[in-house]
Chains A and B, each alone.
Chain A
Amino acid sequence: MIETIQHEAVLDEAAVEEAARAVGLAVLAQSRWPQAGAAEPEPLPGFVHSPFSPLVAATAGRCLAQWYGPAPVPPLDGDRIALILVSVRGDVAIARAIAQSADGGRMSPLLFFQSVANAVLGHVASVWGIGGPLLCTSPAADPEEDALALAAGVLALGDADTALVVRAEPACAEGEQDWSYALLVRQGAGTPNAIGRGV
């Protein structure tokens, strides 16, 4: 399965809200990168060789801040928020750095924890005080549809009340750019105002 990813197609906020509604989810907040006026993702301590994790953390943080204000989230909410990282490609730069290091015989200890996709979710969770489920997936079919279906399933099971879905894809070819978006969703078809803002 080889997919040419066009990030423009997923940057339409109204289309995302419509897709969420179709699976019974209300979108509380959204963030995107790149976005006009948005600062470059800040480096994360210990996360080296790849812009992927800083991008995930930045998009996640901006989305959470829109709904909850500055970190952390309210303590009663924290354990009921799921973090879902969806990336077809995954952190290609880290996989390449690990492969090159293994082939060369020398490996930075910092690649150890970055070898697992959850690591950056652990960072987001610790900064924001989130204790709900952590999931990382690589969808086989329509990534947007699958990301929303997965979030809807986690919420329907009662494993969380709110889900932060972060989609991130790294550039892999000439002319491509890293991109990401994040959605904060809950069950229901209401508008954010009807649901009740977190801040």
Chain B
Amino acid sequence: MADHRTPAVAVTGMSAVSGFGRGTEALCDALFAGRTAFGPVTRFDVSRRRARSAATMDGPADLADELAWAADEACRSAGLQSPLREACPVLLAVHADPALARSADPARAAAGAADSAVVLARRCGLGPAIRAYTTGCIAGSTAVIDAVQMIRSGRSERVLVVAGYLVDADYFIAFDAGRALSPGGVVRSFSKARDGMLLGDAAAAVLLESAEAAERRGAPRHALLAGWGRTGDGYHVCQPKPDGDGVARAVEAALDRAGLPAERIGYVNAHGTGTKQSDAAEAIGLRRALGTYAERVPLSSTKSAHGHTLEGSALLELVITVLALQRGRLPVNAGYQDQDPDCALNLVLEPATTDAEYGLSVNSAFGGANTALVVQAGSRD
């Protein structure tokens, strides 16, 4: 059940960069209308690949620049100023800069993903970089859960979580070689005709703060982090457990911590990569955790619009879940074509409004890692 003895944790600042461009406005405009950001990849040569599409921003893009923009924007939206900003610890979800692997300097090659966190914190005048999370698609949500722990334990009043990935040749070609990408160029999450994921650009930042500290300084309260769960499938290096057990346990733990019955959740932002096994396993897991309510709760995978943004995905999708609650609009599950009996879910297929108070964001990753986050709407726009 919900633990009311420890400090509540609020989302007081957030920002997003996606294939739709910089800012949450561009993201909301597209997701609530059912538009997608996919197009031909021009950032590098894909002429010899099965798949040739991704959700990339226009023009050249540099991940360090986008992470810095996202971090600055989240602090600005939270009204976080000196000296609190300079003391705010940073958790970053990224994989190591691909440039490191191409460096002839052994020391540079050994810098690791943490190097990006240190560079980001210094560049943005933030507090200490604690660590980088390299846990793939759950890197951002895992960082959020650890930030909650840092706040609840009193280690820090606030933590800035930043996450990002920009579509690059290394991962595009690796995922294409693994036949994970959609050759059809459309992500059809939970649709019978789904044939794979597509990658997308993202940088996102969320300022998590003790609700008490946030109130003291008059910060906005976009949402409360009400519950979380994290589990492993114990099944395979990269395939999800077909019975959805890990997803189910993560969702159950998140609901239990929030002290909520499933029926209080008004929107689910699903992992929904658009791959055959993953979507089916997730649907079964949601059914196990939510019961028959899994067939009624509005649900979408926004990867169908902004693509799979790897280490950026879980944090971007948390921001989207909060925005949906704040604005009372449901993101559309784009690219849907036909019903899959293995995915009996209430997909958001047309623009729709909502008065949901609670949202659930679910993510899974290689190794069978799963996370679930429950957020409660804060002040509405």
Contact = CB atoms under 8 A, between A and B. Distances in A.
B231 interface: yes
B149 A126 contact: no
A101 B129 CA distance: 32
Contacts of B171: 98, 115
Interface in A108-152: 108-109, 111-113, 115-123, 125-126, 128-141, 146, 150
B110 A2 contact: yes
Interface in B206-250: 229-238, 245-246, 249
B232 A132 contact: yes
B7 to A, nearest CB: 13
B232 A140 contact: no
A95 B174 CA distance: 11
Contacts of A120: 237, 367
A39 interface: no
B114 A121 contact: no
Contacts of A128: 234
Contact of B234 (A4, A78, A111, A174): A78
Given A78-B234, A98-B170, A119 B366 contact: yes
B149 A156 contact: yes
Contact of B178 (A90, A113, A131): A113
Contacts of A1: 111, 114-115, 118
B108 interface: yes
Interface centre among A5, A119, A133, A146 (most CB of B within 10 A): A133
A111 B308 CA distance: 18
Contact of B367 (A102, A119, A139): A119
Contact of A99 (B102, B131, B178): B102
A136 B114 CA distance: 12
Nearest to A86: B131
Interface residues of A, number: 63
A88 interface: yes
A131 B245 CA distance: 9
Interface in B87-146: 95-96, 98, 100-102, 106-115, 117-118, 121, 128-136, 138-139, 142, 145-146
Interface string A154-170: 10110100000000000
B175 interface: yes
Given A101-B173, A107-B177, A118-B136, A134 B367 contact: yes
Contacts of A125: 232-235, 367-368
A46 interface: yes
Contacts of A79: 231, 234, 249
Nearest to B90: A140
Contact of A102 (B114, B115, B169, B235): B169
Nearest to B45: A105
Interface of B: 48, 95-96, 98, 100-102, 106-115, 117-118, 121, 128-136, 138-139, 142, 145-146, 148-150, 152-153, 169-171, 173-180, 229-238, 245-246, 249, 253, 365-369
Given A118-B366, A121-B232, A146-B130, 17 more contacts: A46-B237, A88-B112, A90-B134, A95-B96, A98-B171, A115-B175, A118-B136, A126-B234, A128-B234, A135-B135, A136-B134, A137-B133, A140-B118, A140-B132, A150-B146, A153-B150, A157-B149
25 contacts: A4-B107, A78-B234, A83-B232, A87-B112, A92-B101, A96-B109, A98-B98, A98-B171, A107-B174, A107-B176, A112-B175, A113-B178, A118-B136, A122-B237, A125-B233, A125-B367, A130-B232, A134-B369, A140-B118, A140-B130, A146-B131, A157-B145, A157-B148, A157-B152, A172-B106
Interface of A: 1-5, 46, 78-79, 83, 87-90, 92, 95-96, 98-99, 101-103, 105, 107-109, 111-113, 115-123, 125-126, 128-141, 146, 150, 153-154, 156-157, 159, 172-174
